[in-house]
Structure 1
Amino acid sequence: MAKTKSVEPNIADLVNWWLKTYNLDYKLEQESLNDEIDKALNEYFSKNGGKGGNRPDAKILLQNSKMNYYPVLIEYKGYKDKLVKLDINGQVENTNTKNEPNYRNINSYAVNGAIHYANAILHYTSYTEVIAIGVTGYKDINDKLHHEIGVYYVSKKNLGIGQEVDKYTDLSFLKRENFDDFTQKLEELSLSQEELERIREKKEKEINASLVKLNNDIYKDEKGLSENDRVYLVAASIMATLGISNKVSPLEKEELKSSKEIGNMDGDIILRKINSFLEEKELPQTKKDMIVRTLQNTLTTENINKPVNGESQLKRVFTKIVDDLGIYYKIGLTTDFTGKLFNEMYSWLGFSQDKLNDVVLTPSYVAKLLVKLARVDRNSYVWDFATGSAGLLVAAMNEMLIDAKEHIKSSDELEQRKLTIKAEQLLGLEVLSNVYMLAILNMIMMGDGSSNILNKNSLTDFDGKYGFGKEDKDFPATAFILNPPYSADGNGMVFVEKALSMMNKGYAAIIIQNSAGSGKAIEYNKRILKKNTLLASIKMPIDLFIGKSSVQTYIYVFRVSEAHHKDNIVKFIDFSNDGYTRSNRKKASNNLVDTDRAKERYDELVNLVLFGKSKLKIFTEEEYYEDTIDPKNGADWNKSSPIDTRPKLEDFKKTVADYLAFEVSNLLKNNKEDDSLGK
């Protein structure tokens, strides 16, 4: 049977004729649209996995009446079933199960290819909204041409995943007189919170894969860089390339000339861009100076700026960071990006076990759990006394913004509340300077909650006040979340005692080593319960921090400023089975797999803590147990459901039945043997 012939040339003729009749200034495959877009398409990995060679069949740059520009990228195919390939969730499937680019789909399907090009624009340009169009078709037995069109919106707003706009039979929506209506439709497109979460999870897995690859490549190819150097170089590269619309242009790779000229080496150029960026962010001068001073030590060293074969090590590393990670921070992914970076970078370090426990950061899904258990909403004031990379504060900020969006229906009021949440309702303290830099970077990328991230010892240098510029004003904390260093006094309960003593109301949720509740923090615990109520004690999976730490952890949830009475009921929950299966394989694409309704289990856990036993569905009664504790004990916080060892009537009956069955069996056996001998 003859192979079906592609009708791509016919599809190209048809669509190009449309564009011509619409009087649009379109450019074909080999033609230039503008330098920025051309460069982006050339820099991005190709549809076959190599570098460059991204050439959409047609491209246009359109502007609506609001003066917003929209790149339009069009890809043609010539077969009946080659319009778009979707995954099981109905999203364009441009990555495979290993969270790597699915080159087969990108190559074979028109929409998939167009969205691949659109992501190049998001990755390497200042454009944040792109229109991706795929067109394919076939000829019927009468040689009549049929065509199909897929029109997708790719933006920071939908994390670069692409949303179908509508069904179309031609491209007349691109005509100037129709384009305003079309872009209004784009503004009204939205993803449900569930869809956003699903996309975010997918992107997070891609980030993990990219970070592992980046770190491996730098470790293998770039000698003389310490772990701190690597972290600071990533922080510096991201700050230099973020840019601020209409104020600070992102630093381009071509601007690094690998010059030996004093004051104009690659490190100097990056530092100048960071200075401009931080200036426009209106950070307090003391904070700005501290950030620049920290990064300067790495950026201006002689070896890293010394050109070898015309290129400095700094330029090579900068280029790799932008190429591998640019898409993830440019699409505004609200995740603990630098926490993932931190864990990956520090996976190379040979920490002692105790030290390792102190630097391990909280997984994002556990951070989200702590935030929900602490009842964080749009009105909360949240602080963290050992903030690490600010992953817990990122989770809190996300929850606050989601709640604000659900409850505030005025666009102006919502925008103002978002600014207030980021600038006034979060506070974090981190004493380690290298980790502090990650926290600053994380919150700047989240846009910008870094205002009150303080490089202080929360136990000795903090008096409960806001940070830079507001040192005379108390932070009115209503929610406390914490994953403390377990080597601190009381396994870290010293942080809990101080934080809760500075709060007048609210809730707290902490994840901590189990021994803190069973004897290692008795005096701290007794003092804490004189002023606060223990609401829940949750046993977490033993492998929660697999590959990073091997300690058993618990989550303790408190109501603040209400003394614990001996008759208060505490909810003891065994969450050893949280539904996830974890592995610690270095080359695995996903070491966390939902094998038993993990999301539903986490939701139910929150509901059990908030509302009690009536919410039991998945959990068994052995896993959920209510009891009292002695507030003067301090070592009875880790109770579990008691096992009744008393024999029941059913047990007795079963034992007797088993015994009788055994005796009857022996009797029959003996009779059979006697009969046999008698013969």
Structure 2
Amino acid sequence: MAKWTLEDDVNDFVKQNFTRLGLKKLKDYNVESSISEYLKQSLKGSAKTANKTNFGKPDFSIEKYEIPVIIENKLHAKKLVQSTKDGIKFDDASISNFAVNGALYYARNMIASGKYDEVIAIGIAGDNDESVELQVYFVYGSGDSAFKFMSKYKTLNFLENKSTFSEFLNDAKLTDDDKHQILISSQIQLQIYAKKLNKLMHNLNITAPQRVLYVSGMLLAMQDIKNDNEIIGYGLTSDDLKGVALEAERDGVKIVNRIKEFLKNRQIPQDKLNLMIASFSEISKDPQRDKPTKNDKEIAKFLDKESSINKQIFTFIYEFIYKQIDGFGGHIDIMGEMYSEFLKYALGDGKELGIVLTPPYVTKMMAQILQIDKDCKVMDLATGSAGFLISAMELMCESANNAYTKNSTQANLEIQNIKKQKLLGVELNAEMYTLAATNMILRGDGSANIQKANAFDTPESLYTKFNANRILLNPPFTFDENGMPFIKFGLSKMQKHGLGAIIIQDSAGSGKAIKSNKEILKHHTLKASIKMPTDLFQPMAGVQTSIYIFEAGVPHDYEKVVKFIDFRNDGYKRTSRALQEIDEPLNRYADIIQIYKNGKNAKVKAKWNLDEIFVEDFITPSGNDWNFDQHKKIDTMPNLADFKKTVSDYLSWEVSQILKKDSPSRSRISLKIEKLEREFKASGGEFREFRLDEIFELKSSKKIFHAQNLKIYDEIIAGSYPYVVRSTIDNGIRGYIIEDEQYLNEGNTLSFAQDTFSVFYQKLPYFTGNKVKILKSKFDDFNSKIALYIVANFNKVLREFTWGIGSNVDSISRIKILLPTIGGKISFAFMQSFVEELESERVEELEAYLAVTGLKDYKLTKAEQNALDIFANSQNKRERERE
């Protein structure tokens, strides 16, 4: 096989494949600069690139299908892709020298131009016909991680015709699981950026109240100015800020002037424009912030010389937020996330203003419960940073695309109408109003009806003209009656049978808002009450909340039941550092909508005791019995599980007391471990790092894609195998299932969850859900004891990872763990002996337990005695082998 010497050899390989597939040059595909003018325009330098004159030239492009395909080639297989543990790299060298990196760069730039929503990017590299490799990506945004690797596509065959391409698009389409992971990982990533940006601004002496205005204003200054989708002025980049002392040329003045131009071009009404500019003028007030100074370490790598404070902040926002906006999950409240982070420093935990911003996965759920679609008209009378309106707008646009075909003329016209006519936000606080308007502009501009006003004093004509049929609210909880007057007022301004949802403190439904609640029940119906997790708003504020659902214009019928749902277990654990997935949150948030609709008859995916978490009951006109706990009849008779827990807790304490007294046995174990380590070192043993792919073969699991239809058992029954998911508990095992054995994964392997970063040893063959990789040992002597040793080391390393960022085969492969070696070879004998000693310690604990319970004198059955003898013999044999 002749070795390729030129990149043209790779190009010839692609052309041969196109010929084989019946694709013709200039008709079905184009080469470099023969691309269409429209595609060429999309590849021109945009506001998100420094170069605004030239356009990129991918090696090949195909524009005959629903979305464009671009291909980038490189000579040599090692030039396929450049990545790190954080993902694919997009520095200049990686983009220029690696096929996948270049293709993705082009695709992201095409989407950033606003001319495309989705692109297929393909990287191809090789040394000859036999070594050539390709990777295919579905790109859905311009962010650093807004793409999906289509791992099963290893040839270009899917480009053959419309039918094969449609099959590819069906595979590429983002699933609910994909969308959920994007939403959560986007929120986590944005929080990380917000934290770093907050630190940078603190270091540069920007006051806490000013910080979020800097973010929103600078993001607007970065936007291109367009007329009829034609760019008439490019947004500012870092290179435009020169640190000049002249008043008109100061960096801050340039930024504010560009904001003014952008807003004027958007035809923002003059009163709104004046309000927004007054807020953003903070950026240009202090000339000292426009003088070059030493660059902060958070941003130094992007700047080649001393820069002004304004330029340093602008550069951070440009690199870490602006470039990522298209890649963030659609329901993400960008300004809200920033505001939440900065609020911690400006106002402690936010309680002074009663400002607690709702997480995006909750705003999305509430909008889904209200069945918001393209035909709805949605308002929020305490808009804050517009989180609810963003979620509503996403669902409405999605509905339009589904109804009229995505990107069709009718769909696009309907979406324009949604953004201009079907969203209403009212916000009194000037800064929050500015954030809301900016946020809606950045998410596609639904800012037309964002009003700076007091909702209660606004002219009646605003509500009459808008004629809402949906309302979503999270009012300031320091307002009268916890904010319940907002929903009372809002429901009165809606169409009859319209739906409303409010998330509010529990106390509003149990006595603190009786006046408003009584009035609400005279004119409207309470349909449901959903008790939310107690840590939902941590670490901002520890507020106990519920969601109340209403039907407008229909007096409450006290002979009809209200649905009460306990959603305290939403599958997440929240800490000040991270949002952790512990119990199927994706399924639980999908289930709660079904439970709201169908009660105990709901077809759910997660493990629920519907009898425990769902109650239908009557309420009274008192207005103080709206919460779940007031209607769930608690069974005070302890059950077997309650007795077991009490007894178990006490026995655990007694065992611990015996073990404390039995210090010689404790020290004996420690001495054995110490002896083992001394002998290991005396034999020349040392610990060294190994990449995971040196000791394991990393394999994609044989996933079960119909998990919602599975019958899951709590224990092994005949014909069943473990079902391993991304849980961080119970060895990753959700239960046991009977399924087609073609989906079985090998036992005696490690399961690795890609987003929760949990790794477990699986002794038996097992089935898996999504995003679980299989690690199969490359060594014959691999067993449970060696596995446990490796898992302990593996978990130690994984503590540095942040949940939700995700991982792939490449990033997992590069993880390094410390293992014992003798003579450069891994010492499996040391690992096995080490774990065996720890197991013997557990046996001593068991003996102590037997002594406490009196079971030590229990007369064993014949079968039990045989099992014990076998165990004792194996222990003695190992002792003799060691000696």
CA contact (8 A) 1:8 1:136 kept: no
What is the correspondence of 1:101-250 to structure 2 with a 5 Å cutoff? Answer: 101=87, 112-114=100-102, 117-118=105-106, 121=109, 132-137=121-126, 145-152=130-137, 154=139, 156=141, 160-162=146-148, 191-192=173-174, 194=176, 195-220=178-203, 222-223=204-205, 225-243=206-224, 244=226, 245-247=229-231, 248-250=233-235
CA contact (8 A) 1:19 1:26 kept: no
SS in structure 1 of the partner of residue 621 of structure 2: coil
CA contact (8 A) 1:491 1:512 kept: yes
CA contact (8 A) 2:11 2:73 kept: no
Q: 1:207 to 1:647 in 2, by over 3 A?
A: closer
Q: 1:438 to 1:185 in 2, by over 3 A?
A: farther
1:20-39 per-position Cα deviation (integer Å, ceiling 9, x unaligned)? 99895589xxxxx9996699
Shift of 1:338: 1.4
Partner residue, 2:345:
348
**Larger displacement relative to structure 2 (14-23 or 276-285):** 14-23
- Between the aligned residues of both structures, percent identity stands at 30
Partner residue, 2:257:
272
Shift of 1:323: 1.1
1:389 aligns with 2:385: yes
**Larger displacement relative to structure 2 (293-302 or 544-553):** 293-302
Partner residue, 2:619:
629
Partner residue, 1:427:
424
1:379-438 per-position Cα deviation (integer Å, ceiling 9, x unaligned)? 111111111110011011111112222223492222121111111111111111111111
SS in structure 2 of the partner of residue 612 of structure 1: helix
SS in structure 2 of the partner of residue 380 of structure 1: coil
SS in structure 1 of the partner of residue 341 of structure 2: helix
Q: Output the CA distance in 2 between the equivalents of 1:397 and 1:475.
A: 16
Q: 1:619 to 1:182 in 2, by over 3 A?
A: closer
Picking from 447, 463, 481, the partner of 1:490 is 481
Letter matched to residue 360 of structure 2: S
Q: Output the CA distance in 2 between the equivalents of 1:229 and 1:449.
A: 24
SS in structure 1 of the partner of residue 565 of structure 2: strand
Letter matched to residue 334 of structure 2: F
CA contact (8 A) 2:481 2:513 kept: yes
Shift of 1:479: 0.9
1:525 aligns with 2:517: yes
**Count of residue pairs the alignment pairs up:** 592
Q: Output the CA distance in 1 between the equivalents of 2:70 and 2:254.
A: 30
SS in structure 1 of the partner of residue 346 of structure 2: coil
Shift of 1:157: 8.1
**Larger displacement relative to structure 2 (473-482 or 614-623):** 614-623
Q: Output the CA distance in 1 between the equivalents of 2:171 and 2:267.
A: 32
Unaligned runs of 5+ in 2: 17-24, 35-39, 295-305, 643-852, 858-883
**Larger displacement relative to structure 2 (106-115 or 499-508):** 106-115
**Larger displacement relative to structure 2 (407-416 or 317-326):** 407-416
Partner residue, 1:605:
592
Shift of 1:113: 3.1
CA contact (8 A) 2:563 2:615 kept: yes
1:559 aligns with 2:548: no
1:304-351 per-position Cα deviation (integer Å, ceiling 9, x unaligned)? 223447632111211121011122224575221111111122222343
Partner residue, 2:569:
577
Q: Output the CA distance in 2 between the equivalents of 1:200 and 1:278.
A: 29
Q: 1:258 to 1:60 in 2, by over 3 A?
A: farther
CA contact (8 A) 2:509 2:623 kept: no
SS in structure 1 of the partner of residue 615 of structure 2: strand
Provide the TM-score with structure 1 as the length reference: 0.76
Q: Output the CA distance in 2 between the equivalents of 1:184 and 1:614.
A: 36
SS in structure 2 of the partner of residue 366 of structure 1: helix
What is the correspondence of 1:93-108 to structure 2 with a 5 Å cutoff? Answer: 100-101=86-87
1:174-198 per-position Cα deviation (integer Å, ceiling 9, x unaligned)? xxxx999999999999624524444
Partner residue, 1:416:
413
**Larger displacement relative to structure 2 (378-387 or 410-419):** 410-419
Q: Output the CA distance in 1 between the equivalents of 2:613 and 2:64.
A: 60
Letter matched to residue 14 of structure 1: D
Q: Output the CA distance in 1 between the equivalents of 2:410 and 2:90.
A: 46
1:578-621 per-position Cα deviation (integer Å, ceiling 9, x unaligned)? 11121112xxxxx1222212122222222222233311642431
SS in structure 2 of the partner of residue 407 of structure 1: helix
Unaligned runs of 5+ in 1: 1-6, 28-32, 44-55, 86-93, 586-590, 652-664, 670-679
1:458-497 per-position Cα deviation (integer Å, ceiling 9, x unaligned)? 13x223444xxxx9x6221111111111111111111111
Partner residue, 1:400:
396
Partner residue, 2:748:
none
Q: Output the CA distance in 1 between the equivalents of 2:620 and 2:47.
A: 68
Shift of 1:509: 0.9
CA contact (8 A) 1:8 1:78 kept: no
CA contact (8 A) 2:111 2:119 kept: no
1:477 aligns with 2:468: yes
SS in structure 1 of the partner of residue 504 of structure 2: strand
Q: 1:272 to 1:189 in 2, by over 3 A?
A: farther
Q: 1:476 to 1:428 in 2, by over 3 A?
A: same
Q: Output the CA distance in 1 between the equivalents of 2:63 and 2:90.
A: 35
Letter matched to residue 12 of structure 1: E
**Larger displacement relative to structure 2 (533-542 or 241-250):** 241-250
1:32-58 per-position Cα deviation (integer Å, ceiling 9, x unaligned)? x99966997889xxxxxxxxxxxx9x9
SS in structure 1 of the partner of residue 260 of structure 2: helix
Picking from 507, 510, 513, the partner of 1:515 is 507
Q: 1:9 to 1:126 in 2, by over 3 A?
A: farther
CA contact (8 A) 1:236 1:295 kept: yes
SS in structure 1 of the partner of residue 494 of structure 2: coil
Q: Output the CA distance in 1 between the equivalents of 2:563 and 2:557.
A: 14
What is the correspondence of 1:256-295 to structure 2 with a 5 Å cutoff? Answer: 256-295=241-280
Q: 1:559 to 1:625 in 2, by over 3 A?
A: same
CA contact (8 A) 1:607 1:615 kept: yes
SS in structure 1 of the partner of residue 472 of structure 2: strand
Q: Output the CA distance in 2 between the equivalents of 1:63 and 1:83.
A: 20
1:254 aligns with 2:254: no
Q: 1:599 to 1:183 in 2, by over 3 A?
A: closer
CA contact (8 A) 1:360 1:548 kept: yes
Partner residue, 2:721:
none
Shift of 1:277: 1.7
Shift of 1:456: 1.1
Picking from 444, 448, 461, the partner of 2:441 is 444
Shift of 1:558: 0.9
CA contact (8 A) 1:571 1:624 kept: yes
Q: Output the CA distance in 1 between the equivalents of 2:13 and 2:571.
A: 53
Provide the TM-score with structure 2 as the length reference: 0.59
Shift of 1:75: 4.4
Letter matched to residue 521 of structure 2: L
Partner residue, 2:699:
none
**Larger displacement relative to structure 2 (275-284 or 182-191):** 182-191
Shift of 1:60: 5.0
SS in structure 2 of the partner of residue 251 of structure 1: coil
Shift of 1:548: 0.4
Q: Output the CA distance in 2 between the equivalents of 1:565 and 1:39.
A: 57
SS in structure 2 of the partner of residue 354 of structure 1: coil
Shift of 1:101: 3.7
Letter matched to residue 399 of structure 1: L
Q: Output the CA distance in 1 between the equivalents of 2:188 and 2:636.
A: 46
Shift of 1:444: 0.4
